[in-house]
Structure 1
């Protein structure tokens, strides 16, 4: 069965897009207004989903847990989010990562200008979006890098989304908060002080997930979605003017500096061959294993299905995108 499925995928990936059978509507969602979601936006705006035989309805669901709930209920077929898929799997959900987006953080810790350094946050409040969200990981990482233990030395308050983190700092509801592009430009223009940069820290900031049941039931649709995602990454690398327009539309920003910084800080980090982030997931699983018995029984192989990207690589599809 596995050998037959592999052959079927090879044949699919070698078939011209126009000859592929079109599928019923596919629903997908992304979990943040962040440049980390760029491949999904570009795939939609460049009509790459349609090119590869899918009718994709792409929406924004402003919380990883809500997105996962919709995915597990069958309301969605694909999601773009961070490590929350691993958290869900540790709780028993049949989630699988099929492609990577950003596998490290691009986040900054901004503070009220009276705060000079991270150490000054002792006894203060730090804003993040939601518990266990990528911004929460970024906040905890920044505090620990400077010798502060989250929730003991500084309280983390959850305020909704990244724009809400900025609003909370400006309103005095928190003393600092973790912010990523494009909102980071607004933070600087508002006069906030950047006191830490955790960019580059290994973490799943964005990746494509689906359910094991859907990947098994419709490997053709899954392969097509990953194909469109992979081609979108090539567009990001090779067509900056188009990508800037996409960033402008999805972030609803008409500020050239904001759009440019989002591209500059995010675009170079999307891998041409977007294999699921095995090493990052392994590290995160070890951390979860220290917190609960369920996570100790999970293996990376339980959470990763790399065959779709592997087939694109082996077929020469990815190499052709950059010629």
Structure 2
């Protein structure tokens, strides 16, 4: 009996390293994420990927740049998550009958700037001119319309708005003189500035709360894959923490994903956005409300919409109440 027990224990000890090896080599689940652009607003995702945060949860995360069609990629089911959706894109899709919801947001300000050719000195000078945006219906389009109305101009009447395909493409359109101004986010905004284009208007000065770095899913996906969504969000929170506390690592990640080697541009971009990233990434009902108020001018259904209809805060609330976020950031 003792010999048999000894043999069983010996076999168990011999197999233990093998079982660990098999577990370690288990294939990771591929998870696809849509992003509107490779910009700093999506950098918690890029940092989380390169830091191995998703792999801890058995995920191999791949992102697809979808421009202004990010919400369509999510709703269409070609991706499981959309990082960089906003308080403009999600409500507009839901009000049109789509299945989508915001589960987190890593920045709640309108962090876009409009840059122009040197002869443009004010927003009023854009009358009769063309402004480039990533795509019609996206966040840069929303920010542009808001800024123009603030200056007393009527979008599409006084000023033409042209979708050019993305934020880097907007810089290219400025260089090609296809547009006289363009709405940008870092790092492209600093690329444009360094190329001699004038900072015409900073949208953050409008004082509008805005979900500018939102994480979206389909409600049906969340119901069926709640644990996976929670683990994805955990990795994103870790990515945001590393992003805001480890500048050198963050700059290396940004250089890799943006393919921008100019350290000055990357450092300026990082310094500009770093204070705006949220530690506890709740999508703000106020940001949704501010956006709906503006959106109602073009989409009447938005006027009486309830901001809570576009938000599911339950995962962030759970990660806050069980002190996961505190464990990541420290007290």
- Interval of TM-score (by shorter of Structure 1 and Structure 2): 0.7 to 0.9
What's the Cα RMSD here? Answer: 2.2
**Structure 1 pair 140–70 and aligned structure 2 pair: CA distance change class (3 A):** closer
Equivalent runs, 1:122-133 vs 2, <5 Å: 122-133=127-138
Find the aligned partners of 1:73 and 1:180 in 2 and give their Cα distance.
26
Find the aligned partners of 2:118 and 2:302 in 1 and give their Cα distance.
40
Higher CA-based Rg: 2
Question: Structure 1 residue 293: deviation in Å?
Answer: 5.5
User: Is 1:222 the counterpart of 2:240 in the alignment?
Assistant: no
Question: Structure 1 residue 147: deviation in Å?
Answer: 2.1
Counterpart contact for 1:26–1:54, Cα < 8 Å:
no
Specify the SS of the correspondent of 1:131.
Answer: coil
Equivalent runs, 1:46-125 vs 2, <5 Å: 46-51=51-56, 53-65=57-69, 67-80=70-83, 81-82=85-86, 83-125=88-130
Question: Structure 1 residue 79: deviation in Å?
Answer: 0.7
Q: Post-superposition, which runs of at least 4 consecutive aligned residues in structure 1 deviate over 6 A?
A: none
Find the aligned partners of 1:29 and 1:167 in 2 and give their Cα distance.
23
Counterpart contact for 2:30–2:62, Cα < 8 Å:
no
Normalised TM-score (structure 2): 0.85
Find the aligned partners of 1:95 and 1:73 in 2 and give their Cα distance.
10
Find the aligned partners of 2:292 and 2:243 in 1 and give their Cα distance.
30
Find the aligned partners of 1:190 and 1:74 in 2 and give their Cα distance.
39
Find the aligned partners of 2:122 and 2:298 in 1 and give their Cα distance.
30
Specify the SS of the correspondent of 1:204.
Answer: coil
Normalised TM-score (structure 1): 0.87
What is the CA deviation profile of residues 97-132 of structure 1, one whole-angstrom value per residue up to 9, with x for unaligned ones? 111022212221111111122211111111111112
Question: Structure 1 residue 284: deviation in Å?
Answer: 2.2
User: Is 1:273 the counterpart of 2:276 in the alignment?
Assistant: no
Find the aligned partners of 1:64 and 1:56 in 2 and give their Cα distance.
24
User: Is 1:199 the counterpart of 2:204 in the alignment?
Assistant: yes
Question: Structure 1 residue 59: deviation in Å?
Answer: 1.5
Contiguous gaps of at least 5 residues in structure 1: 1-17
What is the CA deviation profile of residues 192-251 of structure 1, one whole-angstrom value per residue up to 9, with x for unaligned ones? 111111125422222100000011001100111111111111111211111111111111
Of 269-278 and 291-300, more deviation after overlay is shown by 291-300
Give the number of equivalent residue pairs: 303
Contiguous gaps of at least 5 residues in structure 2: 1-22
Select the residue among 152, 155, 166 that pairs with 1:161.
166
**Structure 1 pair 22–277 and aligned structure 2 pair: CA distance change class (3 A):** farther
Structure 2 match to 1:251: 258
Structure 2 match to 1:180: 185
